[in-house]
Amino acid sequence: MEWHDASYTVSDDRARLDARAIHDYLSRSYWAMGIPLEIVQRSLAHSLNLGLYVTASGEQVGLARVVTDRATFAYLCDVYVLEPHRGRGLSKFLMRCVRAHPDLQQLRRMLLVTADAHGLYAQFGFQPLSRPERVMESADPEIYSRR
Ligand SMILES: CC(C)(COP(=O)(O)OP(=O)(O)OC[C@H]1O[C@@H](n2cnc3c(N)ncnc32)[C@H](O)[C@@H]1OP(=O)(O)O)[C@@H](O)C(=O)NCCC(=O)NCCS
């Protein structure tokens, strides 16, 4: 699948992904600080990835990664737009593509975790957990910084 606006393209083509550029960003992100390149590559290999590209140059400037069975459930993560391209509606463009993707229709649940971008996702149908007492996690946030 591919979507275009005036200057940018969103594509789910795994072959177009620039794993090094993705790793450059994620390894300094607040949620995956220090993540090794090999783990980024493995995560991309097993996910539905929507890359955001400058149409003219092909440079990758953003990502939304979706871990999913493409039938019942999806987990949206690793959403970013590189700093020089922010404030132009590009994360909303990415989210429109996530919502429109044919493999992500009729899911029973889609989850995400965010520190401060609730207002972005609220524009695309996400709400706080309706029954947080039913949700549990097994988390290791320091996993990369300990290595
Ligand atoms: C969050 C991020 C993806 C937004 O990208 P962007 O292309 O600059 O955002 P857009 O121009 O599409 O606008 C985002 C919309 O969400 C809203 N928003 C809510 N929380 C926000 C936040 N923390 N950061 C940016 N926008 C936010 C904005 O107000 C805007 O809505 P509006 O146009 O109706 O005012 C980008 O700032 C980024 O990569 N941040 C670092 C990584 C990150 O925090 N990712 C989210 C992790 S869950």
Query: Residue 53 and residue 97: Cα distance in Å, rounded?
Result: 13
pLDDT-based confidence at 146, cuts 50/70/90?
confident
Residue 87 near ligand 1, beta carbon < 6 Å: yes
- How far, in Å, is the centroid of ligand 1 from the Cα of 69? 27
DSSP per-residue codes, 93-114: HHHHHHHH-GGGSS-SEEEE--
DSSP designation for 8? E
Beta bridge partners of 54: 8
- How far, in Å, is the centroid of ligand 1 from the Cα of 109? 22
Q: In this predicted model, which residue has the larger pLDDT, 89 or 145?
A: 89
Q: Is the pTM of this model over 0.95?
A: yes
What mean pLDDT do residues 75-87 have? Answer: 98
Residue 82 near ligand 1, beta carbon < 6 Å: no
What mean pLDDT do residues 94-106 have? Answer: 98
Nearest in space to 78 (alpha carbons), one of 37, 110, 122, 47:
47
